[in-house]
Amino acid sequence: MEQTLYEKVGGEAAIGKVVDYFYDELVLKDPTVNHFFEDTDMDKQREHQTKFISFALGGPNQYSGQSMAKAHEGMNLQPNHFDAIVKHLHDSLAHFGVEERDIDQALTRVEALRDDILYQ
């Protein structure tokens, strides 16, 4: 039986490390997108993001947050913002040794959310 991406990456604990790197080393240092997180409870954000990415990678559906459209309402995110986040996710997964084909599969799932996130 083939492993899910979630299992290949190492489960929720490993994804939590990816999420920490994603925010600490990339997103929060990127002036293109860091201003969106100025008033964000980052502990809560990391928890939601870890559960969301876990689900997106084929893990258990523990994500109980708002819909993507509702969560991004009023932010008026543009394609360059979405693309920056996708690049940071790619780089975070690569940093932890996830194979490129697996990253591509994960990012395809994220890309499917583009219309729910942009221009809200």
Residues marked as binding for heme?
48, 72
How far apart CA 57 and CA 109 sit, in angstroms, is 8
Contacts of 8 (CB under 8 A, 6+ apart): 98, 102
Query: CA of 81: how far to CAs of 5, 18, 24, 58, in Å?
Result: 25, 19, 17, 25
Q: HSE of 97 in the Cβ direction (CA atoms, 13 Å)? A: 5
